[in-house]
Amino acid sequence: MDKQQPPVISLSNIALKKRLSIDTLSANKGECIYILGPNGAGKSTLLFIIAGMITADSGSVLLHNKAIDQWPLASLAGVRALLPQQTENSFQLSVREYLSFYVEDTAAAEVVIPALLEKALEINQFLDKTITRLSGGERQRVELGRALLQLWAQLQQGEAIVLLDEPLQGLDIRHQYAVAQLIQVLCNKGNTVIMSCHDIALSANYSDTVWLLQQGRIIGAGRPEAVLTKDNLETVFECHFAISKHDNFLEFQACAPISLE
Amino acid sequence: MDKGKRVAIALSIVFVLAICGVLSVVFFSEIEPALKQHIALQLQLPLVLTSTLVGAALASSGATLQVVLRNPLADPGIVGITSGASLVAATLLLLAPTWASPYLHYLLPIGCFIGALATTFIIYRLARQFLGSSTAVILSGIAISTLTGAIIAWLYLFSDANALRNLTFWLMGSVYQTNWPILAVGAPLVLGAVGGQIYLAGALNKLYAGDIAAKSSGVDVEKLTERSLILCAVAVGAAVSMAGSIAFVGLLVPHILRLMVGHNNRWLLPLSALAGASLLCLVALASELTRAITLPVSMVTATLGGPLLIWALAKGHLRG
């Protein structure tokens, strides 16, 4: 990563009611950031603020050195994608039709899933299925595909910012790792990815940077080995942790919440 | 999208045939040419135009509302837009002093139009105040409909038999109430509003993935919702003021079309307009052929609509 370049995203003095309070945070081009923290820590809120979907009460969010509220919605959609947590759908449209509304090139009559995306998500097999009949994990794969297809051209050039709220939710283990790898590949191309996640081991091994959140505050931000320490994890998650390293792969073991007895 | 084209062609043929049917009823009758011309120009042509405009407005607005409110059950009647118009109509028909009755023909459309816009405004404000979600719009719509229904029921109690009869027919809808001056005002409103809805089709498509996804893909969801609701209120307001309250068209036509052409609003909205227009032209043809001038439109659409909706439900395509 070129440290000379200004960060793609930088936040300073962000405050939003009692939910979030952040002094400074930044993301560099090509960085792969995992946000960890217990339920209600503010992971989604943080992602939404970076995406420009919620305006913070105070502080500034800069995207490519330009304040987020100065970006028109339409041009924002051309540089960053956001995957919200699952939404229900009351219309029974086919997956193919659903995706076609989000593919940039509306002139194309057929939705073509790019090979790289298909390898990780494997959605071609249910393109003709009705979206309401998919299982939770299948639906999540389709949603991921939808979010990424929105700016696939930018993703290929390595110029995109991707914000994912629990993209691994509901996925089987194989697809969890496939998606984590897909994200790594996208970051290596120069794209910046920020995603929330509940799998500590996966985060530790697949991220460049971890942001550890607790009650709307950043407990640690930096290299995973530096942030995901036994102390930090035990404070944030209130569990006992054991960390070990095997063949360069970090392993985490957690047991019963401390405060249960 | 071959399916879309095929359905478009089929609907256009039905539409043209229905219009020709209505017009030919006079053409082939045995009356003198001068009278024939007069009837065609002053009665048949307004009839065809009214049916076309009202059908297109209701069906296209229904399709738009269902997507905007993310609810397949939304319909101009259900979300309360028609109820405001009905209330104004009832008030005018039942309470207007006798000296005003010659002007009622023109007062009624204007009043209905204002009523429809006013209720939409109230419903939208209520919804924003309470929850700001699409479910809230429907709930406030139902609340407003219930309230106006109650007021109309009270008005019923205190009015005379003749006024009651007028109102009953108005509430069942009729495509025989217009003339050229009313059409001259109504037509641009309907055409403009339906055109506006079709213009928004691309943005409406993005709502299928939910508010947040739509907004993050560059659609200003709040502005889109507001604009769509206004366009629907204008179209439905104009339709109701021309033909009274007509049930089911806005609910039924879009649903059946979705089974045929899918959910892409770029196809669905124009085809809904075309299908709605064809449907009402067919109703007009039916009442011309049976010579039952007072055949209430809602009666026919509900008779056709009920079984069709049950059929669609049975096929499992409409499950929430």
Residue A213, phi-psi category: left (phi > 0), alpha (psi -120 to 50), beta (remainder): beta
First to last CA, chain B: 26
State pLDDT tens for residues A73-82. Answer: 989 999 999 9
Nearest to A217 by CA among A7, A15, A11, A2: A15
Minimum CA–CA partner of B2 in chain A: A109
**pLDDT over 90 percentage in chain B:** 24
Q: Where are the domains of chain B?
A: 2-314
Q: Are A42 and A19 in contact (CB under 8 A)?
A: yes
Q: Are B243 and B50 in contact (CB under 8 A)?
A: yes
Q: Is A36 exposed, middle or buried (0-12, 13-18, 19+ CB in 10 A)?
A: buried
**pLDDT over 90 percentage in chain A:** 68
Q: Which two tokens stand for residue B142?
A: 């139902």
What is the pLDDT, as a whole number, of residue B167? 80
Phi, psi angles (nearest 5°) of residue A13: 50, 40
Contacts of B264 in chain A (CB under 8 A): 97, 100-101
Nearest to B241 by CA among B297, B163, B174: B174
Does the domain formed by B2-314 have CATH 3.40.50.10740?
no
Q: Are B62 and B74 in contact (CB under 8 A)?
A: yes
What is the pLDDT, as a whole number, of residue A261? 59
Average pLDDT over residues B101-117: 82
**With bands split at pLDDT 50, 70 and 90, how would you rate the model's confidence at B316?**
low
State pLDDT tens for residues A139-190. Answer: 999 999 999 998 898 999 999 999 999 999 999 999 999 999 999 999 999 9
State pLDDT tens for residues A102-147. Answer: 886 555 567 888 999 999 999 999 999 999 889 999 999 999 999 9
Q: How far is CA B51 from the centre of its chain?
A: 10
Q: A62-71, A196-205, B111-120, B122-131 — which is least confidently predicted?
A: B122-131
Q: Is A92 on the interface with B (CB under 8 A)?
A: yes
User: Across the interface, which of B216, B218, B219 has its CB nearest the CB of A53?
Assistant: B216
Q: Is A178 on the interface with B (CB under 8 A)?
A: no
Q: Where do we find the tokens 């029974």?
A: A92
Distance from CA of B223 to the nearest CA of A (A): 12
Contacts of A53 in chain B (CB under 8 A): 212, 215-216
Q: Where do we find the tokens 């914000």?
A: A163
- Give the Cα separation of B165 and B154 in Å (integer): 15
B45: DSSP letter: H
CB contact under 8 A, A146 and B205: no
Q: Is B316 on the interface with A (CB under 8 A)?
A: no
Q: Which two tokens stand for residue B175?
A: 């495509």
Contacts of B220 in chain A (CB under 8 A): 73
Q: Is A101 exposed, middle or buried (0-12, 13-18, 19+ CB in 10 A)?
A: buried
State pLDDT tens for residues B141-198. Answer: 888 888 998 998 888 888 888 888 878 877 778 888 778 888 888 899 999 999 999 9
Virtual torsion, Cα A182, A186, A192, A196, nearest 10 deg: 0
For residue B145, the number of C-alpha atoms closer than 13 Å in the C-beta half-sphere is 15
3-state helix, strand, coil in chain B (%, to 5): 80, 0, 20
- Give the Cα separation of B193 and B135 in Å (integer): 24
Minimum CA–CA partner of A143 in chain B: B209
CB contact under 8 A, A98 and B208: yes
Segment of A55-64, A245-254, B295-304 carrying the highest mean pLDDT = A55-64
This prediction's pTM:
0.88
CA distances to A223, A252, B86, B229 from A246, rounded to whole Å, are 18, 11, 75, 60
Q: Where do we find the tokens 């109703």?
A: B283
What is the pLDDT, as a whole number, of residue B319? 45
- Give the Cα separation of A195 and A184 in Å (integer): 12
Q: Are B242 and B186 in contact (CB under 8 A)?
A: yes
Contacts of A81 in chain B (CB under 8 A): 216-217
Q: Are A50 and A194 in contact (CB under 8 A)?
A: yes
Instruction: Indicate if the pLDDT at residue A214 is higher than 90.
Output: yes
- Give the Cα separation of A19 and A231 in Å (integer): 24
Q: Are A209 and A192 in contact (CB under 8 A)?
A: no
Q: Is B133 on the interface with A (CB under 8 A)?
A: no
Q: Which two tokens stand for residue B167?
A: 């109102």
Instruction: Indicate if the pLDDT at residue B25 is higher than 60.
Output: yes
What is the pLDDT, as a whole number, of residue A205? 92
Distance from CA of B155 to the nearest CA of A (A): 38
Nearest to A192 by CA among A175, A212, A207, A177: A207
- In a 3-state reduction of DSSP, which class is residue B52? helix
Q: Is A130 on the interface with B (CB under 8 A)?
A: no
- Give the Cα separation of A5 and A158 in Å (integer): 15
CB contact under 8 A, B70 and A90: yes
Q: Where are the domains of chain A?
A: 9-236
Q: Give me the interface pTM, i.e. the ipTM.
A: 0.86
| Class for the domain spanning A9-236 | alpha beta
- Give the Cα separation of A146 and A217 in Å (integer): 31
Q: Which of residues B87 and B106 earns the better pLDDT score?
A: B87
Phi, psi angles (nearest 5°) of residue A16: -140, 105
Q: Are B149 and B167 in contact (CB under 8 A)?
A: no
Q: Are B186 and B177 in contact (CB under 8 A)?
A: no
- Give the Cα separation of A190 and A33 in Å (integer): 13
Residues 6 or more apart whose Cβ sits within 8 Å of residue B1: A109, B261, B264, B267
Contacts of A106 in chain B (CB under 8 A): 202
- In a 3-state reduction of DSSP, which class is residue A92? coil
Virtual torsion, Cα A172, A174, A177, A178, nearest 10 deg: -110
